[in-house]
Structure 1
């Protein structure tokens, strides 16, 4: 709170007039980013199919997170869900309901999409900052398939990355895979 007060040119005690604790500030920041996500999604034109509209809304949300690369980590730390985030998901539920999805199928869909619905994915592996690209021989021996894959795959577009492996191509691949599968299930309902 002292550092925030310094940045704002105020006294730390004066911040406590507006917020009770640091967690309240962080929750407020999540609300601001989530409102920006909602605004971006609202500007997306609805098309004739739910899948295309959902995809465009999710990619619009992703653009917000690409502008605020620190935000996925902050969202993951919150113990309560922002009303603005819930409104975003409510709009996604409405879109799917309007196109014939049952509540049960939508519930499964939200679990399958996870944070991807908001425009980012949580990392499967996170080597940490400053991790060496060199793999110790004993690791390569124990994990030959994983090391082989990782040695061939490199994400070299830092402008499309929200994490170690969350680049635009990977994000869209996973998104399309989930949306295509959901669309096939919807057709069977």
Structure 2
């Protein structure tokens, strides 16, 4: 006799995350999720009230995958380790960063995660005022992704970069990576870590100077 897995909220959310990984968030619907779970769509509403609640729950599942730093780690490597774990998590779930961006309010798991990062700075001796500005400076990088100036869109004829010599010079100085999300010629992971390290070094310098607004 085949035993049917019991439908519960955790199973609904984890199946939705796996399905979004496979088909993309745009294609995910309550009906498609119900089919994946082999239940009628109405059965889902016992566990999530609507699509927005489903999405919030999916975000919480993903954020819950971010590893904490090792015990007794100093604030700077701890923050770096936590954020790079967040980046690995977001790369496993490419839809998640956009889902987080479009929510009007952070979910419980996102707030708990932000609280843990703030706690690392405070444990390192940073004032609440400096930590406030630090969190603004880090922005979405806290959760392992960056909001880029230009995002991929419809194909368009490439501009003549010889008209913009400084842009051309900088663009040609990079090691090329065709599938970069930052821009043609950019190494995503390097660019992310480069900016993160600059920020962490700057925060450390301000803290050492006993900076206050």
TM-score (norm 2): 0.74
Aligned equivalent of 2:142: 117
Higher mean C-alpha displacement, 84-93 vs 172-181: 84-93
| Equivalences for residues 24-173 of structure 1 within 5 A | 24-37=53-66, 40-42=67-69, 44-47=70-73, 49-128=74-153, 131=155, 134-137=157-160, 141=163, 143=164, 145-146=166-167, 149-150=170-171, 153=174, 155-156=176-177, 158=179, 163-165=181-183, 167-173=188-194
CA distance, structure 2, for counterparts of residue 26 and residue 90 of structure 1 = 21
Which structure 1 residue ranges, 4+ long, deviate > 2 Å from structure 2?
44-47, 143-155, 163-166
Tell me: higher relative CO, structure 1 or 2? Use CA pairs within 8 A at least 6 residues apart: 1
- Determine which structure has more spread, i.e. the larger CA radius of gyration: 2
Aligned pair count reads 178
Task: Tell whether 2:38 aligns with 1:9.
Answer: yes
Shift of 1:149: 3.6
Shift of 1:153: 4.0
CA distance, structure 2, for counterparts of residue 4 and residue 17 of structure 1 = 14
SS in 2 for 1:36: coil
Gap runs ≥5 in structure 1: none
Shift of 1:103: 0.4
Aligned equivalent of 1:23: 52
TM-score (norm 1): 0.82
Select the structure that is richer in helix: 1
